[in-house]
Amino acid sequence: MTSRAKSVRPVPRRRRPARRLLGALALLLVAALTPAGAPPAQAAPTLLSQGRPATASSTENAGTPAAAAVDGNPGTRWASVFSDPQWIQVDLGTRATLSQVTLAWEGAYGRAFQIQTSDDGATWTTVHSTTAGTGGTQTVNVAGAGRYVRMYGTARGTGYGYSLWEFQVYGETGGTAPTCGETNVAQGRPATASSVESAGLPASAAVDGNPGTRWASTAADPQWLRVDLGSVRSVCRVVLTWEAAHARAFQVQTSADGSSWTTVYSTATGTGGTQSLAVSGSGRYLRVYGTARATTHGYSLWELAVNVTGGDVTPVEPTDPRNPNLGPNTFVFDPSTPTATIQNRLNTIFTQQERNQFGPERYAVLFKPGTYTADVNLGFFTQVAGLGMSPDDVNLNGHVRVEAFWMGGNATQNFWRAAENLSVTLPPGVSVERWAVSQAAPYRRMHLRGAQNQIQLWNGGDGWSSGGLMADTRIDGLVVSGSQQQWYSRNSEFGNGWTGSVWNMVFQGVTGAPPPHFPNPSHTVIPQTPQVREKPFLYVDGTGEYRVFVPALRTNSTGTSWYGKTPAGSSISLSQFYVVRPGTSAATINAALAQGRHLLFTPGVHRVTEPIRVDRPDTVVLGLGLATIQADNGTVAMRVADVDGVKVAGIMFEAGQVNSPVLMEVGPTGSAANHAANPTSLHDVFFRIGGPGVGRATNTLTVNSDNVIGDHMWLWRADHGDGVGWAVNTADTGLTVNGDDVTMYGLFVEHYQRYQTVWNGNGGRTYFYQNEMPYDPPNQAAWMNGATRGYAAYKVADGVTSHQAWGMGSYCYFNVDPSVVAERAIEAPTNPNVRFTNMVTVSLGGVGTINRVVNGTGGTANAANQQVYLTNYP
């Protein structure tokens, strides 16, 4: 078997060609009318601001009035005086729900500014904030409502004032002014204080809903108590229940960021007792700031209550951690379940999912600790997982396998399935397990028992496969890659080693890895993993309670986190999670997050029309059965704040028909906090644009926060399926990294129309990169980057001074016009601290050309020379 595996040569990877939805004439028209390489513009929402009354904090002169920014004339402008802050506001005439604001800046632009809304022109709510404005034309997706909209500038980008050619507000009119709610949104939220009198009088006691507990400060002025509401809220009422030690003079203040404060109430004649204060303001943070005590003691509050407009917090369903409702497509088995019942269910799911590449069905099959007999043959969008703390707590006598019979042995489309946290004992007389997969099919935290056994990563003797991940896994026997074209193994243990190689095989922190010998065979071996957190997982403890285990960070690690050792990490009861089932609105999901809950997405497609906002540090977002979040109406599907330790795992994001600016954003623009001790991490997070139907997104994943870890991601603009074509499923860029010290393990990015990956931050590291350039440029003229032929697969920005990447593969298959040339696979500054190790470019079947590997270095991959290797750059 070993010699046979070594002799297997891959047939060039040729998926089902993308169907041509436009005729030749239409393609020529699109190419002629659209800037080179740019997708066509999408239909805009309703423009509400044009011709409406506008006012401003100042004007530079009579020729630059506020009205000029809303007159629809791109040759007239508003300009302010040369100072900060300045603002321009427009009266829409009636309340409107907003979706987008476009700022067409003149040369004098805003570096730091907010977009704000108001119902009365006096109390403002911030719906967008940045400290890294770029000038030019900025289109900002927003979610908010109001009659008045303003740009509030706090820092100019030049020595001049602020100047806008056009200030355009889009959305839909309608709705009534909100009333003040009755729910106490401060209850249970994180609270801090300037001081505490003793450990028994903490800040949290003032927001716990218990009138018998209190916060008390030391006996000094000033003192304060602060609560984090979880997101920006419009505050309309604050109720203070004072103990005898009350404030004579104090302010109630709000803040969007916890550092800059706005006073919404002030008094020098505080009465103590219970004070109900009507206020108007907005912010994520609210504090009571005492400046003069009424007694010789400190300040003391039994309770601080906060009410908001815009609707009360949506009631969030509690989760029973012993009997959770995981939805109709999650099947949980225990050792008492009859074997026939288990196998019949597995067979039914597989029959439905074997070819169901683009259907909405999703399934999770979970096994409680114990021993079972089962043949688990996984089709599309099916996850099998054990519910033990260790993979060895659940043993399946049988198989956990993936075959490619449905495509005659070709496994290059065996995507979207997962095996996790199980041990497998093969049947007597059987020594081969098969995991014939390509992208987005993790084999994670698994144990294949038996030193005499092997796992084959292709269909075994026929067909071929094209890329996958094995992580935190123990294989007692041998791993045989066969015609697997590229593969990434991390923190695993191979008892009898590995055999096989085609183009790009990367091993990191793997015991039993083959020796490094790139490019013949093409084995890249990295001894350790510098910093990683394994994927969180669901399990059942010894009392029958469902919990989620969050593994701890490991540094300079090798081998698994669990075999022969106790995993380090923390455990969270499922009672602390909100279980999201299909049909749940983003508003309800955000309400759960605002109340401090984690999220568990059940199998299915979850459609959202506003962003899911993950604002709290250490929040866990975990999906079962490759749960999919679809962005509708052009929204961003998820925004993660610039906070410590968020974990997003087992989630797929999908673009809707209306173009989204980005599907997922980690950290807002301008994020700068250091998260080295507790980074945000993304595990088995996948993205799809097109395939089930039309999908569009300008950018797919943008990482603005520092220190983020990516642990197996596939970002895919579909090359086959429905809703596919150069002018149909439009998408510029897959991954954009703006944060510093970001690390990607097992990164797959494919078929985008411009740069596949753009890296703007310093200190970045990528371990294993798989890329295919777009198959479908209609001709060279349609795919030009200025004077350069095509776009690089991996772009490190010119200003980056430190970056490293190992095991890079980029492939072309220009099947619409094979004469198309990509000038280079990797584009990067020439700097000794910007380094690339072990690269390969391939012209699949000789269809198309990649002229150079990095910048102007490396050979040409084309029909005459289909594979090109480069070991180091520079």
Which residues participate in catalysis according to the annotation? Answer: 772
> Which residues touch 225 (CB under 8 Å, ≥6 apart)?
191, 192, 193, 194, 203, 206, 215, 217, 287, 288, 299, 301, 304
Closest CA to 649 of 690, 619, 615: 619
Residue 22: Cβ-neighbour burial (10 angstroms; 0-12, 13-18, 19+): middle
Map tokens 């002169």 to a residue.
61
- Per the CB < 8 A criterion, the answer to whether 411 and 465 are in contact is yes
Dist CA 133 CA 131 (whole Å): 6
Q: How many CB atoms lie within 10 A of CB 226?
A: 20
Both tokens assigned to 853: 């590997």
Bridge-partner residues for 64, per DSSP? none
- For 633, phi then psi, to 5°, come to 60, 25
Question: Does residue 125 contact residue 234 with C-beta atoms inside 8 Å?
Answer: yes
CA distances to 131, 233, 283 from 154, in Å:
9, 21, 17
Taking phi first (over 0 means left), then psi (-120 to 50 degrees means alpha), and beta for anything else, what does residue 667 get? left
Sign of the torsion formed by the C-alpha atoms of 584, 588, 589 and 595: negative
Edge to edge, the sheet with strand 546-551 lists 537-540, 546-551, 569-573
8 A C-beta contact, residue 581 and residue 623: no
Contacts of 724 (CB under 8 A, 6+ apart): 18, 19, 21, 690, 691, 718
Report helix, strand or coil for 781. Answer: helix
Type of residue found at 610: E
Answer for the pair 14, 846: CB distance below 8 angstroms, yes or no: no
Q: Do residues 96 and 119 touch, judged by C-beta distance below 8 A?
A: no
Rounded CA-CA distance 304/324 in Å is 33
Annotate 290-319 with three-state secondary structure. EEEECCCCCCEEEEEEEEECCCCCCCCCCC
Query: What contacts 275, CB < 8 A, 6 or more positions away?
Result: 239, 240, 242
Contact 478, 497 (CB under 8 A): yes
Looking at the chain, the number of H-run helices and the number of E-run strands are: 4, 63
Residue positions counted in the chain: 874
C-alpha span between 32 and 54 (Å, rounded): 39
655: tokens are 């673009």
Omega cis (within 30) before 519: yes
Pairing of strands 577-580, 443-444: unpaired
Q: Which backbone phi and psi does 865 adopt, to 5 degrees? A: -145, 90
Quick check: helix, strand or coil at residue 344? helix
Tokens of residue 166, six digits: 């056009």
Compute CA distances 644 → 34, 183, 615, 709, whole Å: 42, 28, 10, 12
Cβ contacts of 813 within 8 Å, gap of 6 or more: 12, 13, 14, 772, 773, 775, 843, 844, 845, 847, 848
